[in-house]
Amino acid sequence: MNEDLRIIWRNFFNWVMGNGARPENEEIIPEAPPDLPFTQKQESRNSRFHELTLRERYSHWLEIHGLHLFSNVYSGMSVLICVVIVLLLLVTVAELPKFGSENNPANNEVMERYINSGGEETGAKNIVSGMILDYRAFDTFGESALLFTAAVSVLMLLAVSRRDSKNSPERLHKFSQDDSILRGVALLSIPVIVLLGCVVILNGHLKPGGGFSGGAILSAALIFAANAYGFGSVHKFFSERKFVIMISSALMIYALLNAWSFFTGANDFEAYISKGAIGNIFSAGLILPLNICLSLIVAGILYGFYALFSEEEI
């Protein structure tokens, strides 16, 4: 019994390590190693027998079936992971407080504080505007700086490196230069779009809207103009130099206004910023200029993204 077990174990060991007995009719493989350059490693093994080790057999098998197996396992695992995550999240959602209930833990004293004194302290009718551009103006400055950083990295990746290498693949998309319908519609609608953007920006502290959404509308007008009349006509009044100057000066003005209000607020100085009457267009202190700066940044950067991705330059 013990002997049988030992034989089985030895066979198994040989199968794994590749030290199986040499068949008698096979020629003996010479032991001398071939002349390998020193960068290639000589496979070290106790003695050269005819059988492959388990690892070698596995790697041979993997070379043939590996990619297929990998893609199958990958898809199966990703479906499994997605289903498990969705089920876990659904169980969590079922445990959340009731939708629309005022007893949600999210509706706590923070919200009460913003609503109770937001109108008096910021002068803004739109509490969200007062929150993001007055209480948390520094956070919004970080957001615009983030947008600026993204624009700079896209510029680095697309425009700057493409100036060196001219062998990029041809673009399939070409602008049709003579589209009278598009031009007519653009002539009619671009003023309306610009007007809507200005209304959204200037009413940011009174109505839903503000710098981000108004800037997105303005950039839509610019993109429309670029599509209808070609990038050349947009370049005439919005060149790369003006783009850089506009965005950086808007960021600087934002930072200075922010610094002024923080400096005076932290040191109890007189800020010389009148809050005005709630509901008037000239009210809410710094929120209106901050909104204008923000909208210039957003409009420039969104148009810059579009121009970079389609025309490879601003």
Partner 1 sequence: MFAKLVVNHYEAAAVIIFGIGLSNLLLQRNLIKKIIGLNIMNTSVYLFLAAKGYISGRAAPLLIQDAAGNWINDASVYVNPVPSGLVLTGIVVSLSVTAFALALTLRLYESYATLNIDEALLKMTREQEALEENLLQESDEDVLL
Q: How far is the CB of 297 from partner 1 (least distance, A)?
A: 10
Q: Rule CB under 8 A: say whether 199 interacts with partner 1.
A: no
Q: Rule CB under 8 A: say whether 101 interacts with partner 1.
A: yes
Residue from 94, 181, 188, 266 touching partner 1 (CB under 8 A): that is 94
Q: Which two tokens stand for residue 88?
A: 């876990």
Answer yes or no: are the C-beta atoms of 142 and 266 closer than 8 Å.
Answer: no
Compute how many other C-beta atoms are within 10 angstroms of the C-beta atom of residue 61. Answer: 11
Distance CA 160, CA 180 (A): 34
Please name the residue that has the structure tokens 């579009």. Answer: 306
Please name the residue that has the structure tokens 């700066």. Answer: 293
- 3-class secondary structure, 105: coil
Q: Rule CB under 8 A: say whether 86 interacts with partner 1.
A: yes
Closer CB to partner 1, 98 or 241, in the complex: 98
Q: How far is the CB of 126 from partner 1 (least distance, A)?
A: 5
Answer yes or no: are the C-beta atoms of 295 and 217 closer than 8 Å.
Answer: no
- 3-class secondary structure, 194: helix
User: Is the dihedral angle over the CA atoms 259, 262, 267, 273 positive or is it negative?
Assistant: positive
Q: How far is the CB of 214 from partner 1 (least distance, A)?
A: 13
Quick one: which segment of 187-195, 206-214, 260-268, 283-291 binds partner 1 (CB under 8 A)?
A: 206-214
Q: How far is the CB of 181 from partner 1 (least distance, A)?
A: 29
Q: Rule CB under 8 A: say whether 139 interacts with partner 1.
A: yes
Compute how many other C-beta atoms are within 10 angstroms of the C-beta atom of residue 290. Answer: 28
Residue from 23, 30, 34, 100 touching partner 1 (CB under 8 A): that is 100
Q: How far is the CB of 51 from partner 1 (least distance, A)?
A: 29
In the region spanning residues 19 to 38, those forming contacts with partner 1, defined by CB under 8 A, are 37-38
Rg (CA), the chain: 34
Closer CB to partner 1, 195 or 277, in the complex: 277
Distance CA 176, CA 192 (A): 24
Closer CB to partner 1, 45 or 136, in the complex: 136
Closer CB to partner 1, 45 or 65, in the complex: 65
Q: Which residues contact 46 (CB under 8 A, 6 or more apart)?
A: 19
Q: Rule CB under 8 A: say whether 72 interacts with partner 1.
A: no
End-to-end Cα, the chain, rounded Å: 84
Residue from 11, 107, 248, 249 touching partner 1 (CB under 8 A): that is 107
* Total interface residues for partner 1 by CB under 8 A: 69
Q: Rule CB under 8 A: say whether 153 interacts with partner 1.
A: yes
Please name the residue that has the structure tokens 């960068």. Answer: 39
Residues in the chain: 314
Distance CA 126, CA 283 (A): 11
Answer yes or no: are the C-beta atoms of 304 and 218 closer than 8 Å.
Answer: no
Quick one: which segment of 20-28, 57-65, 72-80, 188-196 binds partner 1 (CB under 8 A)?
A: 72-80
Return residues touching partner 1 (CB under 8 A): 37-40, 71, 75, 78-79, 81-83, 85-86, 89-91, 93-96, 98-102, 104, 106-107, 110-112, 114-120, 125-128, 131-132, 136, 139, 143-144, 146-147, 149-151, 153-154, 157-158, 161, 168-169, 206-208, 212, 278-279, 305, 308-309
